[in-house]
């Protein structure tokens, strides 16, 4: 549901920049001989030459449209050049287009706050840049105005027959009598023209733009004059623009709300909305939506440009139309594995390059039932906390699918069908990762430590880079707590309850070519605070991938370390199911770099005992300190709150730590609460840990346990 936001300021300068026939331009840059020729990008399949997904403006002149298939395009334009979308894992590979989009974003973001809205669209808040220009070099005093700016379309500007349009634009920009808002827009015209030219120069891509006082109007304007042009909406022209605009063309009115406005209220254009008082619209559609409708009819929109250069989510999807529909569980699993592999790769590179981690995995599908009166029933979207590592994502996505399928066709149907067709088909499938947050700052000490290890095995594995090191530090569920300890500014919001939720997002448009990024932001699923095992194993998964990539650069010794490490990991993985210990990684690669006396002491203690900490059934509800009396006996016990899954009957799985698994060298790196806990354990009589240990700040969150066999 749209939400009304008060106009933050009516003197903002907002631009919406949209690339022209984007995929075609990317392909033409790769094959310059195609420039200027009618060209289309197709998603190939045998049926009639595949579907067109991007069409050049030269081809559009012949009547070629995106809705056509290759063969139809050839009919209307025999000379059309059809370029296939690159394919990987049996599906469209959009990576080239994504990174081309990033090139553009990096240029556009130079002059103001920049929000990447999709693979080829960006919003810019240029208010500050415009105000500065107005103060220092106002357009009214400019003698020379750039040609590109003079080609702008200014809505409402009276271009009478025979008048020199560029001259009219020049006069509008130079007007001394203009009010402040128009003067700011005049600055916006100059800034955007300059940015667009810069994009062309650096990337060879053309783009179009809309310039207005808010996002809604800028977006409407950017598509009005394409390709390679810009359109401006002065406030005096807002009514003229909206009056005749079909209601369904407005963002968020293309669906059910738009249909209801047309059928129930007789509203066909945005201007038609003006006749309704706000209360009437609120009565019919609720307070928020009612106000939002009242506002948009007047061109009011307070939505801020978010300042986000990276996507909000990652997705990978594929459609299986007609006879390609997937009709057995193994077939679905096969494709899910491909999609998850791609998703996992992208998550790893996001972690690597941008230091961000995603927290929610969502599965969307479209399905049909061949013999069912309830054929309108939708396949439910499902979400769960995201665990890093391809195999884990695959496993979780498959579980989500099965949960969805059970709901869609009923438990009995799923159980009995096995590999055989059982009257359902999946026509599209996608997995997405959302709730992406930056790794909090202030958590890089272990990363620094990796860098400092000039003689260790780790140092020669530096290409794995410090991101992985940093991420490791975040891995425990206590990451929340850790960020508080080390960085008061870091804000990571982890909702509290784990749940397999019904995703509240309307089903995605599963055109696999489209970037799924912007549509997933509203997922409202819960988390458990117990996310550490996933993060830990995820980082290790990324680590492993990086290692694979670096294979040829690794010396013999490193190779040996790597294979031993991997062997050890593999052995554990089977048992631990994603909870391998960070300790193995630290152990033996850093003999006490911090020289802490406590670390040394702990080491001594560790050497002199083979005490084990058992976290589990027996010890539920007891802290390490409380258990310290029992510490003389082995094993020792401690609370596992927040760790491990409740078995439903209130019991938890039992976990145990071996004291010698805790590398003393990392103790000083831990939050004080954890240090206290360990000290209490080593010196039960001297140390009383703080009873108000924050949730997520238990040792169990820092030292991933070995599951008791
Ligand atoms: P659009 O911006 O919608 O279109 P476009 O850039 O091709 O053309 P225009 O100049 O009219 O804006 O989409 C951007 C890219 O996204 C497009 O080049 C291909 C891809 N895309 C799909 O793969 N499938 C789709 O259904 C749409 C709409 C776009």
**In the numeric block, which tokens belong to residue 541?**
């998964």
| pLDDT of 180 higher than 70 | yes
pLDDT grade for 67, boundaries at 50, 70 and 90: confident
Residue-level pLDDT at 50: 86
pLDDT of residue 485: 24
Contact 445, 326 (CB under 8 A): no
Looking at per-residue pLDDT, the higher value among 418 and 326 belongs to 326
Alpha helices by DSSP H, 355-478: 390-409, 411-417, 445-452, 457-460, 465-474
Considering the chain, what percentage of its residues have pLDDT values greater than 70? 58
Q: What are 595's two structure tokens?
A: 């020289």
**Rounded percentage of the chain residues whose pLDDT exceeds 90:** 50
Least confident window among 15-24, 183-192, 265-274, 691-700:
691-700
54 lines ligand 1 (CB under 6 A): yes
Give the residue-averaged pLDDT of 35-42.
97
Chain-centre distance for alpha carbon 593: 37
Mutate to test the pocket of ligand 1, among 224, 514, 517 (most ligand atoms within 8 A of CB): 514
Q: Name the 3-class secondary structure at 453.
A: coil
Position 513 scores a pLDDT of: 37
Mean pLDDT of 21-25: 98
CA angle 175, 178, 181 (to 5 degrees): 130
Query: Would the CB of 23 count as within 6 Å of ligand 1?
Result: yes
pLDDT band (50, 70, 90) for residue 34 = very high
> Within a 10 A sphere around the Cβ of 65, how many other Cβ atoms?
14
Ligand 1 neighbourhood includes 19 CB (under 6 angstroms): yes
Question: What separation in Å is there between the alpha carbon of 37 and the centre of ligand 1?
Answer: 18
Could you tell me if the CB of 511 is within 6 A of ligand 1? yes
pLDDT-based confidence at 423, cuts 50/70/90? confident
Furthest C-alpha separation in the chain:
99
The Cα 246–Cα 244 span in angstroms is 6
Beta strand ranges found along 323-371 (DSSP E): 356-357, 360-369
CA of 595 to the centre of ligand 1 (A): 58
Is the Cβ atom of 512 under 6 angstroms away from ligand 1? Answer: no
Pocket lining: 21 vs ligand 1, CB cutoff 6 Å = yes
User: Which residue from 58, 66, 120 has its CB within 8 A of the most atoms of ligand 1, so it is best to mutate?
Assistant: 120
CA nearest neighbour of 580 among 590, 593, 589, 571: 571
pLDDT digits (tens, 9 = 90+) for 507-562: 333 233 333 333 333 222 222 222 223 333 334 445 444 333 332 332 333 333 33
What's the pLDDT band for 457 if we cut at 50, 70, 90? very low
Residue 382, ligand 1, Cβ within 6 A: no
Q: Is the CB of 474 under 6 A from ligand 1?
A: no
Report pLDDT for 414: 59
Tell whether ligand 1 has an atom less than 6 A from the beta carbon of residue 120: yes
Question: Do the beta carbons of residue 25 and residue 19 sit within 8 Å?
Answer: yes
Pocket of ligand 1 contains residue 514 by CB under 6 Å: yes
Q: Which atom of ligand 1 is nearest to the CA of 509?
A: 26
CB 628 within 8 A of CB 605: no
Alpha-carbon span 394 to 400, nearest angstrom: 10
**Using 50, 70 and 90 to split pLDDT, how confident is the model at 279?**
very high
Yes or no: say if 398 and 274 are a contact pair by the CB < 8 Å rule: no
Name every residue whose Cβ is closer than 8 Å to that of residue 558 and which is 6 or more positions away in sequence. Answer: 457, 460, 461
DSSP string across 549-599: HHGGG--HHHHHHHHHHHHHHHHHHHHHSS---THHHHTTT-S-TT--HHH
* Cα Rg, the chain, nearest whole Å: 30
Given 27, 58, 115, 121, the catalytic residue: 121
Distance in Å, CA 104 to ligand 1 centroid: 16
Counting ligand 1 atoms within 8 A of each CB, the residue from 53, 118, 208, 512 with the most, and so the one to mutate, is 53
Cα of 189 to ligand 1 centre, how many Å?
25
pLDDT at position 107 is: 98
Residue 46 known to be catalytic: no
CA of 274 to the centre of ligand 1 (A): 32
pLDDT at 131 over 70: yes
Among 40-49, 242-251, 609-618, the range scoring the smallest mean pLDDT is: 609-618
- For residue 620 the two structure tokens come to 């539920």
pLDDT tens-digit map of 88-118: 888 889 999 999 999 999 999 999 999 999 9
Among 26-40, 216-230, 664-678, which stretch is predicted with the lowest mean pLDDT? Answer: 664-678
Cβ-based neighbours of 631, under 8 Å, separated by 6 or more: 611, 681, 684
Find out whether the beta carbon of 100 lies less than 6 Å from any atom of ligand 1: no
Q: What is the 315 CA–ligand 1 centroid distance (Å)?
A: 17
Instruction: Provide mean pLDDT across the span 373-384.
Output: 83
**What average pLDDT does range 570-594 have in this prediction?**
37
Alpha-carbon distances, residue 3 vs 151, 307, 430 (angstroms)? 36, 20, 27
Q: Which atom of ligand 1 is nearest to the CA of 227?
A: 10
647-657 as b/e, with b when 16 or more CB fall inside 10 Å? eeeeebbbbbb
The answer, as to whether pTM is greater than 0.75, is no
Summarize pLDDT for 661-673 with one digit per residue, the tens: 455 555 555 555 5
The Cα 563–Cα 82 span in angstroms is: 46
Residue 549 CA to ligand 1 centre (angstroms): 33
Ligand 1 center to residue 21 CA distance, Å?
A: 6
> 18, 22, 69, 117: which to mutate for ligand 1, most atoms within 8 A of CB?
22
Q: Report how far ligand 1's centroid is from the alpha carbon of 26 (Å).
A: 12
Nearest CA to ligand 1 atom 5: 21
Please check the confidence at residue 682 and state whether its pLDDT lies above 70: no
When the pLDDT of each residue in the chain is averaged and rounded to a whole number, the result is: 71
* Per-residue pLDDT at 465: 30
Ligand 1: atom nearest CA of 20 is 10
Task: Please give the Cα distance from 258 to 269 (Å, whole number).
Answer: 10
Q: What is the mean pLDDT of residues 497-504?
A: 26
pLDDT at 157 over 80: yes
């Amino acid at each position: 549901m749209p939400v009304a936001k008060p106009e933050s300021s009516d003197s903002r300068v907002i631009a919406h920049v949209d690339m022209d026939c984007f995929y075609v331009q990317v392909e033409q840059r790769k094959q310059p001989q195609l420039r200027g020729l009618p060209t289309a990008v197709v998603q190939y399949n045998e049926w009639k030459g595949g579907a067109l997904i991007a069409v050049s403006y030269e081809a559009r002149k012949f009547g070629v449209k995106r809705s056509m298939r290759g063969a139809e395009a050839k009919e209307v334009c025999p000379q059309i050049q059809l370029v296939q979308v690159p394919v990987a894992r049996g599906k469209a590979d959009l990576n080239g287009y994504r990174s081309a989009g990033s090139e553009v974003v990096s240029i556009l973001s130079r002059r103001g706050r920049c929000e990447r809205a999709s693979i080829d669209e960006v919003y810019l808040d240029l208010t500050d840049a415009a105000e500065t220009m107005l103060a220092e070099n106002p357009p009214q005093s400019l003698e020379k105005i750039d040609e590109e700016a003079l080609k702008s379309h200014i809505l409402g500007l009276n271009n009478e027959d025979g008048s020199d349009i560029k001259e009219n634009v020049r006069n509008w920009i130079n007007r001394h009598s203009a009010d402040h808002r128009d003067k700011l827009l005049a600055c916006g015209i100059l800034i955007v023209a300059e940015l667009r030219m810069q994009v062309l120069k650096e990337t060879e891509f053309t783009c179009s733009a809309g310039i207005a006082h808010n996002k809604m109007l800028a977006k409407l304007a950017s598509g009005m004059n394409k390709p390679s042009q810009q359109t401006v909406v002065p406030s005096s022209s807002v009514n003229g623009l909206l009056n005749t605009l079909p209601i369904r063309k407005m963002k968020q009115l293309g669906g059910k709300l738009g249909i209801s406005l047309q059928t129930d209220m007789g509203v066909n254009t945005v201007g038609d909305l003006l006749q309704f008082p706000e209360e009437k619209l609120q009565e019919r559609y609720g307070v928020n939506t009612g106000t939002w409708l009242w506002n948009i009819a007047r061109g009011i929109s307070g939505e801020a440009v978010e300042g986000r250069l990276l996507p909000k989510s990652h997705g990978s999807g594929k459609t299986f139309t007609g006879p390609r529909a997937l009709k057995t569980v193994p077939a679905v699993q096969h494709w899910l594995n491909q999609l998850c592999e791609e998703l996992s790769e992208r998550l790893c590179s996001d972690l690597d390059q941008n230091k961000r981690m995603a927290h929610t995995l969502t599965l969307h599908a479209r399905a049909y039932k061949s013999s069912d009166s309830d054929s309108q029933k939708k396949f439910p979207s499902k979400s769960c906390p995201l665990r890093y590592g391809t195999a884990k994502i695959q496993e979780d996505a498959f579980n989500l699918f099965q949960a969805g399928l059970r709901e869609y066709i009923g438990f009995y149907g799923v159980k009995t069908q096995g590999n055989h067709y059982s009257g359902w088909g999946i026509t599209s499938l996608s997995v997405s990762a959302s709730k992406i947050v930056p790794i909090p700052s202030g958590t890089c000490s272990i990363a620094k430590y990796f860098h400092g290890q000039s003689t260790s095995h780790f140092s020669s594995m530096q290409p794995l880079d410090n991101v992985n090191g940093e991420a490791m530090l975040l891995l425990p569920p206590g990451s929340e707590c850790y960020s508080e300890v080390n960085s008061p500014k870091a804000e990571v919001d982890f909702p509290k309850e784990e749940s397999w939720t019904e995703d509240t997002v309307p089903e995605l448009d599963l055109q696999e070519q489209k970037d799924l990024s912007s549509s997933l932001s509203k997922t409202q699923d819960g988390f458990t605070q117990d996310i550490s095992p996933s993060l830990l194993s995820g980082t290790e998964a990324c680590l492993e991938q990086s290692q694979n990539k670096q294979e040829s650069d690794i010396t013999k010794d490193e190779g040996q370390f790597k294979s031993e490490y991997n062997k050890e990991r593999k052995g554990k993985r089977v048992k631990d199911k994603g909870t391998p210990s960070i300790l193995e990684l630290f152990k033996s690669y850093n003999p006490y770099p911090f020289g802490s006396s406590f670390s040394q002491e702990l080491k001594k203690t560790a050497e002199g005992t083979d005490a084990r900490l058992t976290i589990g059934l027996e010890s539920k509800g007891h802290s390490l300190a409380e258990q310290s009396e029992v510490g003389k006996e082995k094993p020792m016990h401690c609370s596992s709150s927040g760790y491990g899954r409740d078995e439903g009957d209130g019991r938890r799985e039992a976990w145990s730590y071996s004291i010698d698994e805790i590398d003393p060298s990392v103790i000083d790196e831990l939050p004080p609460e954890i240090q206290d806990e360990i000290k209490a354990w080593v010196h039960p009589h001297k140390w009383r840990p703080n009873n108000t240990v924050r949730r997520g700040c238990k040792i169990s969150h820092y030292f991933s346990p070995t599951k008791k066999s």
